[in-house]
């Protein structure tokens, strides 16, 4: 147990008390951003990987009285070891024969690709979690995702555009729930890190017409997980997209050089008018 004293004005956990936090944030405009993790990640893991980005954004936007508030939900589809890319079955370990669920890795997904039918299984379940997260946050201003989460960010931004007709019947129910959760407001912007175009027939209405919501796309020039052509496919289906190419692989770059374009993008669109 640590013997360090609790900071003045803080709770026993070391976090600022609500009244201190409110005073610190007084006069700042909150920008609520839904952060969507990638395949095989979780909300807490994604936050751990982007913590430096979160802190740098807050510091950079503070002088213009913008306060980014980030929310990190976890996808509902728990993945087995064999679902994870690069998995090698081990007969000695019995493959996926894990008797205790607590022994499963903390890896989750928003949907699963069914190559036989060219559809996304468990898609509606993933969107139900997103809708609940939006509701719990009291609505969101923006959405940001990595990899599979980057594709999800585009789906959400498109579905929330008021001028985009939603599919009738059960096929469009998830989108109607998203709109209800966000009080029928569109997001002001969307950010995709290593995101991709979803070439499944049931989701083409989200790309046609093109996504009007302002979008920022980060693409790693050395990304071997999501091919650049797939990311470019998403870029091509957005109106006036902003693209940043970093000299790295399949990850979210968190150094100052690569966070600054994001900070500028937020500054430009956080107070912008809603997308029609």
Domain CATH for 112? 3.40.50.1820
The reported pLDDT for the residue numbered 18 is 53
Please write the tens of the pLDDT for every residue from 258-268.
Answer: 999 999 999 99
> Mean of the pLDDT values across residues 217-241?
97
Structure-token pair, residue 51: 């913590």
The reported pLDDT for the residue numbered 259 is 98
pLDDT at 171 over 90: yes
Residue 190 Cα to chain centre, angstroms: 9
The reported pLDDT for the residue numbered 84 is 80
- In-domain check, residue 251: yes
- In-domain check, residue 167: yes
User: How many percent of the chain have pLDDT more than 90?
Assistant: 79
pLDDT at 25 over 80: no
> Mean of the pLDDT values across residues 169-192?
98
> Mean of the pLDDT values across residues 33-43?
97
Structure-token pair, residue 161: 């555009």
Residue 164, CB half-sphere, CA atoms under 13 Å: how many?
28
- In-domain check, residue 17: no
pLDDT at 14 over 60: no
- In-domain check, residue 2: no
Element counts in the chain: helices (H) and strands (E): 7, 10
Question: Which of 125, 87, 121 lies closest to 105, judged by CA?
Answer: 87
Structure-token pair, residue 12: 């026993």
> Mean of the pLDDT values across residues 87-97?
51
Residue whose token pair is 């979008």: 215
Residue whose token pair is 């395949």: 39
The reported pLDDT for the residue numbered 33 is 98
> Mean of the pLDDT values across residues 161-184?
98
The reported pLDDT for the residue numbered 56 is 97
The reported pLDDT for the residue numbered 91 is 47
pLDDT at 246 over 90: yes
Altogether, the residues listed in the chain come to a count of 276
- In-domain check, residue 276: no
Task: List residues bridging with 245 in a β-sheet.
Answer: 219
Question: Which of 145, 274, 164, 127 lies closest to 216, judged by CA?
Answer: 145
Q: Which domain holds residue 74?
A: 27-81+105-269
Helix 148-159 and helix 123-136: axis angle, to 10°?
70
> Mean of the pLDDT values across residues 42-60?
97
* 82 band by pLDDT with thresholds 50, 70 and 90: confident
Distance between CA 1 and CA 145 in Å, rounded? Answer: 36
The reported pLDDT for the residue numbered 104 is 82
Distance between CA 154 and CA 220 in Å, rounded? Answer: 18
- In-domain check, residue 172: yes
Q: Exposed, middle or buried: residue 58 (CB in 10 Å: 0-12, 13-18, 19+)?
A: middle
Residue whose token pair is 């997904």: 109
Task: List residues bridging with 69 in a β-sheet.
Answer: 32
Structural domains in the chain (count)? 1
The reported pLDDT for the residue numbered 27 is 84
Q: Where are the alpha helices (DSSP H) in 104-193?
A: 123-136, 148-159, 173-181
- In-domain check, residue 1: no
- In-domain check, residue 123: yes
First-to-last C-alpha distance (Å) of the chain: 54
Please write the tens of the pLDDT for every residue from 194-211.
Answer: 999 999 999 999 999 999
The residue ranking higher by pLDDT, 143 or 91, is: 143
Mean of all residue pLDDT scores within the chain: 88
């Amino acid at each position: 147990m640590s013997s360090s004293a609790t900071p003045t004005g803080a709770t026993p956990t070391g976090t600022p008390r609500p009244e201190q936090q409110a005073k610190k944030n007084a006069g700042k405009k909150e920008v609520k951003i839904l952060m969507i993790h990638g395949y095989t990640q979780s909300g807490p893991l994604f936050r751990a990987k982007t913590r430096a980005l979160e802190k740098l954004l807050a510091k950079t936007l503070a002088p213009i009285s913008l306060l980014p508030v980030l929310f990190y939900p976890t996808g509902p589809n728990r993945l087995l070891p064999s679902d994870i890319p690069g998995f090698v079955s081990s007969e000695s370990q019995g493959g996926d024969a894990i008797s205790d669920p607590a022994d499963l890795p903390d890896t989750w997904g928003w949907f699963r690709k069914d190559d036989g039918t060219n559809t996304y299984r468990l898609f509606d379940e993933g969107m139900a979690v997103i809708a609940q997260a939006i509701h719990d946050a009291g609505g969101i201003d923006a959405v940001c995702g990595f990899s599979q989460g980057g594709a999800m960010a585009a789906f959400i931004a498109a579905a929330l555009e008021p001028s985009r007709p939603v599919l009738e019947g059960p096929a469009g129910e998830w989108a109607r729930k998203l709109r209800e959760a966000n009080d029928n407001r569109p997001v002001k912007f969307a950010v995709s890190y290593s995101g991709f175009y979803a070439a499944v027939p049931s989701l083409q209405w989200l790309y046609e017409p093109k996504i009007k919501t302002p979008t920022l796309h980060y693409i790693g020039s050395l990304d071997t997980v999501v091919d650049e052509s797939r990311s470019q496919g998403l870029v091509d289906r957005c109106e006036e997209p902003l693209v940043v190419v970093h000299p790295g692989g399949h990850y979210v770059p968190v150094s100052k050089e690569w966070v600054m374009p994001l900070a500028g993008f937020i500054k430009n669109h956080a107070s912008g008018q809603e997308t029609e």
